Amino acid sequence: MSKLAEFTDEELVAWVRTKDKEAYGEIVRRYQDKLLRYAYYILGDSHQAADVVQESFVKAYVNLQGFNLKKKFSSWIYRIVHNEALKFISKHKRETGLFDNADFDSGVNIEKEYTQKLLPKLERGR
């Protein structure tokens, strides 16, 4: 077991901030599976959850200096994932919302209509 595994989360954050930025990998190791489950719970899609968690780890790393060491790191990182997941939902709802309530069964057999009506017209044009 490495020395880093013995640190509390807050001690590890202080270590990353002052001594060894590579030690952030230990934070990722500690939280990755838990955060993936949490993001999946919110999003319902494992690929989206993985994207959100990755983005959250980057955001946490960039803002690590702003983390208050007197607070719980776990609460902070979960809040970041939560916010990123909600942002992801909001962003993608606007992108995919066009057909959410659409009824695609018009009763028309497109293939049959094509072969009976359009194909003969195309063949005559040759």
* Cα–Cα dist 81/93, whole Å: 18
Mean of per-residue pLDDT scores for the chain? 84
Please count the structural domains in the chain: 1
Residue 110 located in a structural domain = no
Residue 51 located in a structural domain = yes
Residue 119 located in a structural domain = no
Domain containing residue 73: 3-96
Are 91 and 35 in contact by the 8 Å Cβ rule? The answer is no
CATH code at position 82: 1.10.1740.10
pLDDT tens digits for range 54-87: 999 999 999 999 999 999 999 999 999 999 999 9
* Cα–Cα dist 74/78, whole Å: 6
- Cα 72 vs. chain centroid, distance in angstroms? 23
Q: Is-above-0.75 flag for pTM?
A: no
